[in-house]
Structure 1
Amino acid sequence: MLFALAGLGLVGGVADARPQAPAPVADCQPGGPCSHPLPVRIVIVTLFEIGKDSGDVAGEFQLWKERRHLDVRIPFPQGSHDLYYNPDSQILGVVTGVGNIRSANTTMALGLDPRFDLRHAYFLVAGIAGIDPHHASIGSAAWARFLVDGDLAHEIDAREIPADWKTGYFPRDKKGPNDTSPPKPSGEVFEINPALRDWAYTLTRDVVLPDDPHIAAERARYVGYPMAQRPPFVLTGDNLAALTFWHGAKMTDWAADWVRYWTRGQGMFVTSAMEETGTYQAILGLDRIGRVDKNRFMVLRAGSNYTMPPPGVDAATYLLRENEGYAGLEASVESLYRVGSKVVDELEAHWPKYEKTVPQ
């Protein structure tokens, strides 16, 4: 269904006087002015889709489109993927494209598009992730408070580092990885609304997540990692965004140290992805001009794969195997929908309240 809604409905050929959601008319074209912007209550931010948007193997977007009836297609040439909207629930679905550059571009383009009223919209990032087996299992879903950038750094090839260096990757303002001076953030770390994160976690912590023999068998391989062997569950934990798809025990140690460093010990690395720091920087810019409210931004990531191999398997072998198909992909996209929908349902059911006041 293309983007063609009228501000006045017809019932039996007679004008329906019941209130209807405002909708763009003919002058609402991409990049043009819009006298009747679409009201948006919730933006579902996904990063990629596999194949078609519905009817085949589900990526991050498909379950939301099908189950939330996001049937109105809205052309979005300034982004990576057309938008989809439900005029009844006023939910808007976005596919940003992979990586923080695409996610930042798409988010900024959406926020500046005069066809949408996003002033009271809640943004829910719902994406798959690598998950640290020290803290959770594949299929588990984690609500983040801190978003940490893993790209802004100095790097020396590990084969050329001094003997007393643990890694050749270190913050830009440091003299090396052994420099213990406190962090001076300049785009490396962001804290999103912790009260909203805690509210979302409390609301969803008892949601039953999907499990099956396939992911149970994968979990069983992580001997010595009790959290990795648990059936999928909901937790809180922070996100590291980096454009390089990294893997392995040493890299997982680096990620934990990196998150701990930039959050001054307040954060805990749980999920790895590529987009959040780009998405949120766009949100911050849009908030400064009153287009969105940065306090209505949430990040939910579910583990499609572990960030390191099980005992007895080398990192290269496990990474190449996972690239043929993530062990927890199906479970993770279902977890994202089940957990995220709990929040969406609550916001929808009490919209007059949450439109005015951000939950805490």
Structure 2
Amino acid sequence: MQTLILRSGLLLAALFMSFTAQAAIPVKVVVVAMFENGELTGDEPGEYQFWIERLKLKKMDFPLGAHDLHVNDDGVLAICTGGGVTNATASIMALGLDDRFDLSNAYWVIAGIGGGDPLDVSLGTGVWAKHVVDGDLLYEIDGREIPSSWEYGLIPLGAKEPNQESTGWTVDTIVYDLNASLVDWAYELTKDHPVEDTPAMKSFRSHYKGFPNAMKPPFVTIGDTLGASTYWHGELLNNWGNDWVKLHAGEQANMVTTNMEDNGTLTALHRLARTDRVDTDRVLVLRTVSNYSFPPPGKSAAWSTTAPYPDQGLPAYEAAFGLGNRVVQTLLEGWDTYRETVPGS
């Protein structure tokens, strides 16, 4: 009798596990936004609201996240991680371990606003990254105490001075290389997609005389992104950012946008990939420029750090949705191919 009960219990457990596995929702595309203004719908939009409203996504409870998840029957799942590296890391890890979803074939479209280097881009520009670099993991000394021969007081872990290769202790999560072929595919798909220009944007960028790329109408390009929990700003730190990205991602790399989450998101995704829960060859990072990373001539860094974004950043939110959704819809339309074959491969 005990043997029969044991066998029955094992059979029920196996059936339950089989049902649970079959019940996992197969996700085709995960859209990752970072923050929202106010309510998730019906008010001033942030990065998340357009996706919910325009793709008619339905709420799913997500107690371990900063906000609820949203999904639709087409295979799209959207998450808003909460702002900052720690929120992004925790939220993405929680999603990746959520057994309600099968994310093994999902593409990840990380789409949000960011600062733009005036040496490279203008307001509203959409930038697809090939490298995501962490700007937090370093030594720092106060600017009033740096040696006179140093340009800034930020030093790589394991190095002795700024912009020097590490020869000592460091960590292996400072740079993540994205699938370059997939990034090229996304860029080709979206490079002619219209990006909104407005009178406020034109007026603001007109102050960047001597910076031709900053004075252009918005466009779409490829360039790398530097993440940090600190909202840094100014021309001297911009010089550091450009040096830092080249130091860690290679001379071909170029810091074009700044953000406060992507290094955390990529760290979580790469951890999840160790157990094949996600495929990091299917990750895209799009940042659209809401503000510049240093001030125009004649303005101070202190003023520029907290200056209002032209049009409250709305054109950048629109660009993040418009360019990101172009990729999302193309992946959905070609899912019979893209489920097994990554675009550009």
Q: Determine which of 151, 160, 163 is the counterpart of 1:175.
A: 160
Q: Secondary structure at the match of 2:339?
A: helix
Gaps (5+ residues) in structure 2?
A: 1-15
Instruction: Check if 1:335 corresponds to 2:319.
Output: yes
Per-residue deviation at 1:182?
7.8
Q: How does 1:266-345 map to 2 (within 5 A)?
A: 266-322=252-308, 325=309, 327=311, 329-345=313-329
Q: How does 1:1-360 map to 2 (within 5 A)?
A: 35-70=22-57, 72-87=58-73, 89-177=74-162, 179=164, 186-322=172-308, 325=309, 327=311, 329-360=313-344
Distance 1:188 1:48 in 2: 23
- 1:36-65 deviations in whole A, cap 9, x for unaligned? 011111110000000111211110011111
Q: Is the 8 A contact 1:65 1:84 kept in 2?
A: yes
Gaps (5+ residues) in structure 1?
A: 1-26
Which residue identity lines up with residue 336 of structure 2 in the other structure?
A: P
Distance 1:237 1:118 in 2: 27
CA RMSD of superposed structures (Å):
1.8
Q: Is the 8 A contact 1:185 1:262 kept in 2?
A: no
Q: Is the 8 A contact 1:138 1:328 kept in 2?
A: no
Q: Is the 8 A contact 1:304 1:327 kept in 2?
A: no
User: TM-score normalised to the size of structure 2?
Assistant: 0.91
- 1:106-156 deviations in whole A, cap 9, x for unaligned? 111111101001111100000100000100011001000101100000011
Q: 1:132 to 1:263 in 2, by over 3 A?
A: same
User: TM-score normalised to the size of structure 1?
Assistant: 0.87
Distance 2:340 2:155 in 1: 43
Q: 1:130 to 1:161 in 2, by over 3 A?
A: same
- 1:278-305 deviations in whole A, cap 9, x for unaligned? 1111111111101111111100000011
Per-residue deviation at 1:190?
0.9
Q: Is the 8 A contact 1:153 1:170 kept in 2?
A: yes
Higher helix share: 2
Q: Is the 8 A contact 1:303 1:328 kept in 2?
A: no
Distance 1:261 1:150 in 2: 12
Per-residue deviation at 1:77?
0.3
Distance 2:285 2:183 in 1: 8
Count of residues in correspondence between the two structures:
326
* Number of the residue aligned with 1:14: none
Per-residue deviation at 1:320?
2.5
Q: Is the 8 A contact 1:218 1:327 kept in 2?
A: no
Q: Is the 8 A contact 2:157 2:166 kept in 1?
A: no
Distance 2:220 2:143 in 1: 36
Q: Say which is worse superposed, 59-68 or 180-189, in terms of deviation.
A: 180-189
- 1:317-341 deviations in whole A, cap 9, x for unaligned? 122323xx55561010101111111
Which residue identity lines up with residue 345 of structure 1 in the other structure?
A: Q
- 1:167-204 deviations in whole A, cap 9, x for unaligned? 11110110111645689762111101111101100111
Q: 1:178 to 1:147 in 2, by over 3 A?
A: closer
Distance 1:151 1:330 in 2: 28
Per-residue deviation at 1:224?
0.7
Q: Secondary structure at the match of 1:356?
A: coil
Q: 1:181 to 1:243 in 2, by over 3 A?
A: closer
Q: 1:218 to 1:118 in 2, by over 3 A?
A: same
Identity of aligned residues (%): 42
Q: 1:232 to 1:328 in 2, by over 3 A?
A: farther
Distance 2:252 2:210 in 1: 25
Return structure 1 stretches of 4+ with deviation > 4 angstroms: 180-185, 325-328
